[in-house]
Amino acid sequence: MTSALSGIVFMFSGFVFKNKRHLNILSVLLFVVMIVSAVFQLKGCEIMSGKYPNMIETDPYRISFFIILCLIGIYYSLVNRYNFSKPGSKVSDYFALIFISFTGIAVLASFNNLILMFLGIEILSIPLYALAGAAKHKMKSTEAAVKYFLMGAFSTGIMLMGVTLIYGASGSFLLENITAYSFDFQSIYYLGWVMLILSLCFKVSVAPMHFWAPDVYDGTPTGFSSNMITIVKGAGFMTFITVLSAFKITSGIVADNYQYLLSFLIILTLILGNFSALKQTSVKRMLAYSSVVQAGFMMFALFQINEESQNALLFYTLSYGLSSIVLFYALTKVKNEYKDFHGLSKRAPVLAFACTVALLSLAGIPFTSGFLAKFMILSSAMHIPSNLILVIAALILAVLSIYYYIKVIIAMYFRNSNKKKIKLSFTTQFLLVLGTALNIALGVYPNLLWMVLDCISK
């Protein structure tokens, strides 16, 4: 609710506020309002939660996920505050689009019904198609927008087909009715279920449905691809885990098939993502492929959906968000190629340090939140003994990913360059250090996150 209002407020705010700074403050305020309203919903406040039977429910896990996404959103909009005006057009338009996509996330955080899920995903995606094409005069950006739109429409079609088939078999869109319906290998219901999984794979860019992702993330103006990679992907996974948890797998053969399907998707994602990222010469493209790899890791949470894996997914999203936002911010300051990063440790020590911690976090080195995120998410899949091979394969492939991450570190610290120094404002440096400190704090004491969430919900 509030998020939709924020979007509308921003659409018109362009007339009122001419100053960018005011818009930034407004955006942070609106994010805070969204968080507060989410907290009220969590506490069961009547006015906020509303009464829409069979449409909206209050699920504490998803609401806290939404709150975390909002927090990442605040960090994102603060760090990137000067980048919104880069693509050209009015800043308020972009903010409006971002807030409308947050409306979609809010819907996804509370749907109870497959129709509403579909609506949520559409509301989330459509503003992003526009954001992808924000740099109108650039060929690459336009290409990204078209590609994203076509692929998005295609996957939506598959999703609708899946929903229809499920409706045909079970006679209901409601998640609880679907949970009650025990399905079999033969029924069309099964087909619908697979289609739903595949279409959601499109949204979170898991192989073999990942081909759009590198081009789109690369072509989109850097400030916005950081949003797509962190927040939107997190929302996608939130939907994924909710939808899948609604399906109770009762028959053995379906369970086996599910496990094979998931293992296949994961291993394919990791191999394709890692080997493609290895060859890139552009850091931005490398990060785009690495986001595919990270999505592969996040898929591990789906093997067995319980509180543990849900929490692991939440933690992973937060950790990945913190690291990616810093790295993409660095991309806006430096150019995209590896060689542009040369000597960054001398040119902008704070930025280089923040990037190093972010990269180590993505690589999964202890004392950063990335390590615990990997640890949690892999351990949640470990309840099935045969997954040991999969986990070890994933970890060995992670060594490859470390190779391309440390290539950036090598460029920043071990190579020299005589380019100009990069000046960062004090606030930006403070924000970067804050994000890094948070990253390390979560890596040392993960209970911090649960403590904060507990505090909010009580």
Partner 1 sequence: MLLSLLIILPLLAGLGLTVIKHNRSLGFVGTGVSIYLLIYTLFLLFTKTPVDLSIRFDWFELGGVKTNIALSLTGLGAAMVLLTNLVYAILFIYFYTVKKNYSNTFYGLLLLAYAGLNGVFLAQDLVLFYFFWEIVLIPIYFLIGIWGNKKTRISANTTFFLYTILGSMLMLGGIIFIGFQLKPESFLITDVMKVTADFGNLTTLAWLFLIAFAIKIPLFPMHSWQPAVYKTSPTPVTVILSALMAKMGLFAVVNWLLNLFPQICSQFDNVLYIVGFGLIYASLIALTTNNIKKIIAYSSVAHLALIFMSLYSQSDTGILGGYFQMFSHGIVVLGLWLSVDYMERKYKITDLKSIGGLAKADPAFAVFFTFFGLANVALPLTSSFIGEFMMLNALYAYNPILCVMGCAGVILSAAYTLRMSTAILFGEQKNIKEEKIKFPTILYVIFGIISLIILVLGIYPTIVFNLLQN
**Interacting residues toward partner 1 by CB under 8 A:** 308, 360, 365-367, 371, 375-376, 378-380, 382-383, 385, 388, 391-392, 395-396, 398-399, 402-403, 406, 410, 413-414, 445-447
Q: Which is nearer to partner 1, 277 or 398 (CB)?
A: 398
Q: Which is nearer to partner 1, 181 or 375 (CB)?
A: 375
Question: How far is 76 from 254, CA to CA, in rounded Å?
Answer: 41
Q: Which is nearer to partner 1, 106 or 376 (CB)?
A: 376
Shortest separation between residue 83's beta carbon and partner 1, angstroms: 27
H or E, element range at 411: none
Q: Which is nearer to partner 1, 205 or 263 (CB)?
A: 263
Q: Which is nearer to partner 1, 321 or 443 (CB)?
A: 443
Shortest separation between residue 241's beta carbon and partner 1, angstroms: 16
Question: How far is 41 from 52, CA to CA, in rounded Å?
Answer: 13
Phi first, then psi: what are they for 372, rounded to 5°? -65, -35
Shortest separation between residue 6's beta carbon and partner 1, angstroms: 35
Shortest separation between residue 134's beta carbon and partner 1, angstroms: 37
Query: Of 104, 189, 94, 112, which Cα lies nearest the Cα of 152?
Result: 104
Shortest separation between residue 312's beta carbon and partner 1, angstroms: 9
* Helix, strand, coil percent values for the chain (each to nearest 5): 75, 0, 20
State the amino acid at position 373 in one-letter form: A
Handedness of CA 245, 248, 251, 254 (dihedral sign): negative
Q: Which is nearer to partner 1, 10 or 315 (CB)?
A: 315
Shortest separation between residue 3's beta carbon and partner 1, angstroms: 33
Shortest separation between residue 412's beta carbon and partner 1, angstroms: 10
Whole-angstrom Cα Rg for the chain: 21
Q: Which is nearer to partner 1, 162 or 446 (CB)?
A: 446
208-212 contacts: CB < 8 A, separation 24 or more? 208/265, 208/268, 208/272, 209/155, 210/269, 210/272, 210/273, 210/292, 210/295, 212/147, 212/148, 212/151
Question: How far is 235 from 230, CA to CA, in rounded Å?
Answer: 9
State the amino acid at position 10 in one-letter form: F
Shortest separation between residue 85's beta carbon and partner 1, angstroms: 33
Q: Which is nearer to partner 1, 104 or 370 (CB)?
A: 370
Q: Cβ(236)–Cβ(204) under 8 Å?
A: yes
- Concatenated DSSP letters for 257-310? HHHHHHHHHHHHHHHHHHHHHHT-SBHHHHHHHHHHHHHHHHGGGGSS-SHHHH
